[in-house]
């Protein structure tokens, strides 16, 4: 959308010398306002910035001796930097970013280590000392939704029972009762159906990222509203000051009229009763001036609230002088361009469309949860053992050496002797030396993990499914209902955008025509006052009619500046409803996530 060219200034004639009296006093503000040659153009061209200086009228808690100049661009910049509501919205974006990072942390590897020392004894066994040091690394895998865990376990045990379990009683040492074991391996679980394409972790991260985009959109919406509020407050402040200056000029006219009446009464050219009429009008205008001054304070405070961050700032005691005149253009706004900008840029529509994307993710996830769960489980490990001490050398021994075996053997020979049979011989056997690689300490057990006989592996499948699976089906049905609900909300919001844009364009067009008409009314009021003054000088008019013309001119001037400021406020509203406030005001907003 191409907005009207607002660089054309609007000049409003506010001279107070229309009475044609050589002795009429003028205020400094009135003297600063001159008729420009451009007033002959079809449209009035702009109030000079110098005419916006506050009067010397006192306002509570504000010094007016050294007013601070303030342009509209500076006011917008300061509001975007200091506005507390916008800062809250900016922090909302940062908070949501931390939530995204928090959810992404589920894919961080987790290292665990468990060193354990134990000392045990009982009535049938002497005290033993065991030590275990287990370490592992676990991680969720994002593609495919798998889980991988690696482990490295080491133990030293003196328990005979534990040793018998580990070695089946075949590994003994003559110099140590300790047994060392080491295990290195990896386990991997891969979903094959449910949670394969989409799982709760990926779904939560996706939703959090879309929520982050929504908070960023809300931040820019808040920024747009801030810009619009500043623009409206700025032009309200301009109007309040111009209204005050017009009322001051009207008061000065009444004072001059009173001075002239006093002179005429002294010269016997006027009745003393006329003094009361002029004094009453002066008092009424002074009352209007007090109200106008109050409105200046209210408008200035509204602007300060938007641009001052600290409630204790000294700027609250300073008076501001707006330096930008109201801008105006005769070019009408193109409704189609405005509508396209709004449909492309409106943050409310963007938020709803992001919510639709979240809903699609919900449907995708809940559909996946209605499937049976089939997981592939795999494991691979390397195991190593070693007995403490040194390997025993080669020896010879009887075949039967156990006490029970020897007792039975001797009983058999005694029976044979009673039967006059020859005795049986307990043969001598050679016991070979132990294998050196089976004896040592942790270093030996870890080295044994890489022997050809060490690898172990397994593969299997886990199948599970809930009967009826009502939870997943109900969640899916709810998400599908929400899909239709969001479609209706989007249509409703698009209709609202259409209404907003059409109303805003109409408001701009109405305000544009009001500016032209108000300028004509002010020019005619000036002519009427000049004519009434001549009649009054020639004794063909009354003080009442003169005052009426003066008040009509003041009202016409106020109506003109009101129309000018309303036009600029209408442009600000149009920028808001088309979400082009940043673009049209050449504003680059710092990323709320930037440090």
- Asked if 462 and 420 sit in the same domain, the reply is no
Q: Residue 156's closest CA among 581, 464, 440, 498?
A: 440
Statement: residue 42 has pLDDT above 60: no
**Domain that residue 404 falls in:** 397-431
Element containing residue 137 per DSSP (H, E): strand 125-140
In a domain, 1, yes or no: no
What integer pLDDT is reported at residue 573 of this predicted model?
Answer: 96
User: Could you tell me the CATH number of the domain that includes residue 55?
Assistant: 1.20.1600.10
Helices 273-307, 543-577: crossing angle, 10 deg rounding: 10
Residues 452 and 514 reside in one and the same domain? no
328 close to 6: Cβ distance less than 8 angstroms: yes
Mean pLDDT (whole number) for 417-421: 85
Judging by beta carbons within 10 Å of its beta carbon (0-12, 13-18, 19+), is residue 232 exposed, middle or buried?
A: buried
Mean pLDDT of the chain: 83
Q: Name the more confident of 126 and 202.
A: 202
Share of the chain above pLDDT 70, in %: 84
**Shared domain check, 350 and 232:** yes
Do residues 177 and 296 both lie within one domain?
no
- Cα dihedral sign, 428-433-438-439: positive
pLDDT bucket at 7, cuts 50 / 70 / 90: very low
- Model confidence at 56, in pLDDT bands (50, 70, 90)? low
44-53, 66-75, 129-138, 229-238: the lowest-pLDDT one: 44-53
Three-class SS of residue 116? Answer: strand
Give the pair of three-digit tokens for residue 217: 């959109």
Task: Answer yes or no: is pLDDT of 236 > 50.
Answer: yes
Q: What are phi and psi of 154, to 5 degrees?
A: -135, 140
Q: Of 421, 446, 470, which closes a domain?
A: 470
User: What are the φ and ψ backbone dihedral angles of 291, each rounded to 5 degrees?
Assistant: -65, -40
Using CA atoms, how far apart are residues 402 and 392, in angstroms rounded to an integer?
19
Same domain for 237 and 297, yes or no, is yes
Q: Within a domain: residue 422?
A: yes
In this structure, are 258 and 163 located in the same domain?
Answer: no
Q: Which residue has the higher pLDDT, 59 or 338?
A: 338
Average pLDDT over residues 430-447: 68
pTM: 0.74
What sign has the CA pseudo-torsion 3, 4, 6, 10?
A: negative
* Total domain count, the chain: 3
Mean pLDDT of 2-10: 47
Residue 162's nearest CA partner among 327, 369, 385 is 385
Say how far apart CA 315 and CA 479 lie, in whole Å: 53
If asked whether residues 484 and 531 sit together in one domain, one would say yes
User: Can you give the pLDDT at residue 360?
Assistant: 97
- Supply angle C-alpha 105, 110, 111, rounded to 5: 155
Residue 250 CA to chain centroid, in angstroms?
Answer: 51
Mind listing the pLDDT tens digit for each residue in 526-548?
Answer: 999 999 989 988 888 888 898 89
The fraction of the chain above a pLDDT of 90, given in percent, is 57
377 and 402 both lie in a single domain = no
Residues 527 and 538 in one domain: yes
Residue 105 within a domain: no
**Residue 16 clears pLDDT 50, i.e. is over it:** no
Mean pLDDT of the region 500-524: 95
Model confidence at 22: pLDDT above 60: no
Whether 167 is in a domain gets the answer yes
CA atoms of 558 and 580, how far apart (whole Å): 30
Q: Are residues 486 and 357 in the same domain?
A: yes
Please identify, among 378, 407, 431, the residue that sits at the C-terminal boundary of a domain. 431
Q: Would you say 193 and 158 are in contact if contact means Cβ atoms under 8 Å apart? A: no
The average pLDDT across 49-74 equals 74
In a domain, 207, yes or no: no
Quick check: is 420 in a domain? yes
Which DSSP state fits 192?
A: S
Q: Quick check: 15 pLDDT over 50?
A: no
pLDDT in tens, 282-319: 999 999 999 999 999 999 999 999 999 888 999 999 99
Mean pLDDT along residues 369-384: 93
Of 501 and 158, the structure prediction assigns the larger pLDDT to 501
CB 373 within 8 A of CB 195: yes
Residues 6+ apart with CB under 8 A from 301: none
Per-residue pLDDT tens digits for 140-194? 999 999 999 999 998 888 765 555 545 544 555 444 567 888 899 999 999 999 9
pLDDT, greater one: 423 or 122: 423
**Is residue 322 domain-shared with residue 190, that is, in the same domain?**
no
Q: Last residue of a domain, which of 455, 470, 485? A: 470
Our CA angle for 304, 308, 312, nearest 5°, is 105
- pLDDT value of residue 451: 81
Q: How far apart are CA 256 and CA 17, in angstroms?
A: 11
Note whether 304 and 53 are within 8 A (CB): no
Tell me the chain's radius of gyration from C-alpha atoms. Answer: 48
Q: Which one is predicted more confidently, 33 or 381?
A: 381
Return the percent helix, strand and coil in the chain, to nearest 5: 55, 20, 25
Does residue 221 form part of some domain? yes
Q: Within a domain: residue 79?
A: yes
Same domain for 168 and 117, yes or no, is yes
pLDDT band at 324 (very low <50, low <70, confident <90, very high): very high
CA angle 316, 320, 324 (to 5 degrees): 145
Q: How many CB atoms lie within 10 A of CB 85?
A: 14
- pLDDT at residue 393, rounded to an integer: 56
What is the chain's length? 595
- Does residue 64 register a pLDDT over 60? yes
């Amino acid at each position: 959308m191409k907005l009207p060219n607002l660089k054309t200034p609007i000049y409003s004639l506010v001279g107070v010398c229309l009475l044609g009296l050589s002795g009429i006093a003028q205020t400094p503000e009135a003297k600063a306002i001159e008729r420009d040659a451009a007033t002959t153009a079809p449209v009035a061209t702009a109030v000079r910035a110098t005419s916006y200086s506050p009067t010397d009228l006192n306002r509570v808690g504000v010094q007016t001796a050294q007013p601070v100049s303030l342009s509209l661009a500076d006011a917008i910049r300061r509001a975007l930097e200091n506005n507390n509501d916008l800062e809250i919205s900016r922090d909302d974006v940062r908070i949501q970013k931390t939530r995204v990072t928090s959810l992404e942390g589920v894919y961080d590897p987790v290292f665990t280590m468990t060193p354990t020392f134990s000392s045990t004894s009982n009535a049938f066994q002497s005290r033993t000392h065991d030590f275990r040091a287990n370490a592992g690394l676990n991680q969720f895998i994002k593609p495919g939704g798998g889980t991988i865990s690696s482990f490295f376990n080491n133990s030293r045990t003196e328990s005979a029972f534990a040793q018998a379990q580990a070695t089946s009683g075949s590994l003994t040492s003559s110099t140590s009762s300790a047994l060392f074991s080491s295990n290195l391996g990896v386990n991997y679980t891969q979903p094959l159906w449910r949670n394969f394409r989409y799982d709760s972790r990926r779904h939560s991260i996706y939703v959090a990222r879309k929520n982050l985009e929504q908070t960023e959109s809300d931040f820019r919406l808040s920024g747009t509203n801030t810009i619009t509020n500043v623009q409206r407050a700025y032009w309200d402040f301009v109007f309040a000051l111009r209204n005050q200056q017009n009322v001051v000029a009207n008061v000065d006219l009444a004072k001059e009229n009173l001075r002239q009446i006093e002179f005429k009464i002294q010269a016997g050219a006027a009745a003393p009763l006329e003094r009361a009429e002029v004094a009453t009008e002066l008092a009424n205008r002074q009352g209007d001036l007090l109200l106008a001054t109050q409105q200046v304070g209210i408008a200035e405070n509204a602007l300060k609230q938007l641009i001052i961050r600290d409630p204790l700032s000294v700027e609250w005691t300073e008076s501001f002088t707006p330096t930008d005149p109201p801008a105006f253009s005769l070019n009408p706004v193109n409704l189609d361009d405005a509508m396209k900008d709004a449909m492309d840029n409106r943050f409310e529509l963007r938020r709803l469309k992001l919510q639709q994307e979240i809903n699609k993710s919900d449907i995708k996830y809940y559909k996946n949860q209605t499937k049976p769960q089939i997981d592939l489980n795999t494991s691979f490990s390397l195991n190593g053992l070693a007995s403490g001490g040194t390997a025993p050398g080669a020896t010879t021994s009887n075949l039967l050496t156990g006490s029970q075996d020897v007792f039975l053997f001797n009983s058999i020979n005694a029976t044979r002797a009673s039967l006059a049979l020859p005795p049986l011989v307990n043969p001598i056997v050679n016991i070979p030396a132990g294998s050196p690689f089976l004896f040592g300490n942790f270093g030996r057990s870890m080295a044994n993990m890489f022997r050809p006989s060490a690898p172990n592996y397994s593969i299997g499948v886990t199948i599970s499914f809930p009967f009826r699976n009502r939870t997943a089906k109900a969640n899916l049905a709810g998400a599908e209902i929400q899909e239709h609900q969001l479609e209706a909300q989007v249509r409703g919001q698009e209709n609202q955008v259409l209404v907003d844009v059409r109303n805003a364009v109409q408001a701009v067009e109405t305000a544009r025509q009001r500016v032209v008409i108000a300028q004509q009314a002010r020019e005619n009021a000036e002519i009427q006052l000049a004519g009434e003054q001549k009649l009054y000088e020639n004794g063909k008019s009354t003080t009442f009619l003169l005052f009426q013309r003066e008040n009509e001119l003041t009202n016409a001037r106020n109506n003109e500046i009101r129309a000018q400021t309303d036009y600029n406020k209408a442009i600000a509203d149009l920028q808001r409803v088309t979400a082009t406030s940043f673009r049209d005001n050449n504003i680059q907003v710092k990323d709320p996530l930037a440090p």
